Amino acid sequence: MKLSVVVPTFNRKPILERALHALASQDLSPEQYELIVAVDGSTDGTVEMLRAFQPECAFHYLEIPHGGPSAARNAGIRTATGELILFLDDDLIAVPDLLRQHCESHVDSAPRVVHGPIYISPESAETIIRYVSEEAYEGYYRSPDLKKELRYPEAFGSSIAVLSSLANSSMPRELLIQCGGFDEQIRAAEDLELGLRLWRLGVSFAFLPNAIAREIHVKSSWEYLQWQSRTLAVGDIRASRKHPEYRPYSLFSSLGETRLSTKWLRNALVRFPLSPVPLLAFPLHFEKYYCRFLSLRRMGMRLLQIAERITRLRSGKTAAGSWQALENEFGKRCPVLMYHHIGPSRPGAYRELTVSPEKFEQQIRWLSRWNYVAIQPSHWLRWRKEGAGLPQKPICITFDDAYEDIAEYALPILRRYGFSAAVFVVTGEIAGTNAWDEAQGSGTLRLMNAETIRSWAAQGIEFGAHSRTHADLTKLSASQCRDEIAGSKSDLAAILGSPVLSFAYPYGEYNEAVCNIVRDEFELAFSTIEGLNDLQTDPHLIRRAAIGPDDSLLGFAMNVRFGGQRAIKDLRIKLGVRTRLKRALKRFSGTRNNATN
């Protein structure tokens, strides 16, 4: 037997019957495939219909207690005898050559998952969710990523959506048995979780554009909100916990990105004892009357998206145990401060890179008073991977270049207030001077030596690499760039006697080639881009706010609150433009009034 087609079903008798007739009419020889229907506790006469169904191919139906699609599919896997298994849903109508295309796509012994497109059937009910799905499918299948084989982990970030559904997907049966099949604790997002396991095993994913199945949508938008949206949120959290690498792409990964202007409203809607969704989504009960009108349909689609988001967040809150627990797991935001030289001004040294010890202590005291807790890059990395372990108000303090004065002035202040920090070392100049600045006419500043680095590392200060010579990496050849990046990592690891996790780009300069080398060598990399960091922040482009000698305490607070002052400066510019426009209009109005008089 070449192919086993597994179809789970629950109370979908009329559509299932159509789907089975399409599968019984395939152009693949009946001896080459079998149909297996797993009846997931249906009570609508499905079993009676299946008893009368007699296709030419081998056919089995299984009656199991209602346990969700994962349990039904696993029962189908255990019954299957084919080399390959193709999963289809009970509302998918297959094109006549669908099974043959799937069989022919597995021509060699390399294990792969082959996925065919799903489009909405014109026979579908006129519902908002039908049009939302239609738009999503069409956008997804236009993705250029689908035209190439996708392998883990190279394609993980750009192509995570390919794992979101294994309907109309075929794969070797032995592969499914090896990985244990579907997680039966997950009622929705079970495809995603299994796809992640398969991808981690090294299985490639290929797209078969002409192996088309058409979905007949019958579920109303309200039914979708009541069941699938809720269970999908719970399944997504479980998948995130089982596969931490998926966390930055989960349904909840944008919690930390929510704008301050809307965060209070979101929190209120999620925390309110009664869900606002029934009231908000009330117009969806009448969707069949207005779906044909484009403008009203668009309004309905937007309404459904808002209601779905609220439903998802409220379900996520329940699954996590509380709203605070959900935010702690997915919604943390962390400002990163960037300092250079802390100490007295040195003759000829760049003034804009020096912060006095008095001002630095004032800033650290402010952070302590406002209950910020300093974390290290490794703490952020662990939270990003596992979703736990960060304080309520985290902040990361970093120092570029590893000046000797930092060890004398800054680090003792931090220790006094119970703060940690990260220092980025130019490893080719350890115990030397800031040669890269001296070459441009700057005064001399001494750098830490190896003994100082080891001593402070033992006291909880984390050290990262900052290249070997503080060169502009974008101006180097590939081999020179790799030597600067990988070399600084090995230099520092030899001093510390432990792995080096993080890197800071010299001058904040990078390009795609530089980033690719850094990604190969380090788990985190720090840029000079302003902004706060959240779960979706690229771990190799961590944002930082530069702290300078002229920053007032208010300016420092803005850096902490917003990850930089650029947003404030932009607001000032906008307000300034508006003020000038108002003045100009007043003058214009006054001139006209005088002329009229």
pLDDT tens, 252-302? 999 987 776 678 888 888 989 999 999 989 999 999 999 889 999 999 999
Which pLDDT does position 262 carry in this prediction?
Answer: 79
CATH of residue 461's domain is 3.20.20.370
Contact between 67 and 78 under an 8 Å Cβ cutoff? The reply is no
Q: How far apart are CA 40 and CA 143, in angstroms?
A: 34
- The kind and range of the H/E element at 275 are none
Same domain, yes or no: 192 and 257 = no
How many domains is the chain partitioned into structurally? 4
Residue type, 492: L
Query: Model pTM?
Result: 0.85
Of 535, 534, 473, nearest to 335 (Cα)? 534
Same domain, yes or no: 343 and 408 = yes
The token pair at 268 is: 């209120």
DSSP 227: I
Same domain, yes or no: 316 and 457 = no
Same domain, yes or no: 161 and 266 = no
Q: Collapse the DSSP code of 400 into the 3-class scheme (helix H, G, I; strand E, B; otherwise coil) and give the result.
A: strand
Segments of the chain with pLDDT less than 70: 144-164, 260-261, 566-597
Same domain, yes or no: 209 and 234 = no
Q: Which of 189, 218, 247 is the last residue of a domain?
A: 218
Q: Which of 330, 353, 376 is the last residue of a domain?
A: 330
Which pLDDT does position 149 carry in this prediction?
Answer: 58
Which pLDDT does position 585 carry in this prediction?
Answer: 56
Same domain, yes or no: 581 and 548 = no
Same domain, yes or no: 311 and 371 = no
Which pLDDT does position 188 carry in this prediction?
Answer: 85
Q: Which of 267, 296, 330 is the last residue of a domain?
A: 330
DSSP 344: S
Contact between 470 and 436 under an 8 Å Cβ cutoff? The reply is yes
Which pLDDT does position 261 carry in this prediction?
Answer: 67
CATH of residue 44's domain is 3.90.550.10
DSSP 444: P
Structural domain boundaries enclosing 574: 568-597
Contact between 388 and 329 under an 8 Å Cβ cutoff? The reply is yes
The token pair at 431 is: 């115990």
Query: What phi-psi label fits residue 564: left (phi over 0), alpha (psi between -120 and 50 degrees) or beta?
Result: left
Same domain, yes or no: 383 and 505 = yes
Same domain, yes or no: 295 and 428 = no
Same domain, yes or no: 88 and 174 = yes
Which pLDDT does position 349 carry in this prediction?
Answer: 87
Same domain, yes or no: 186 and 238 = no
Same domain, yes or no: 46 and 183 = yes
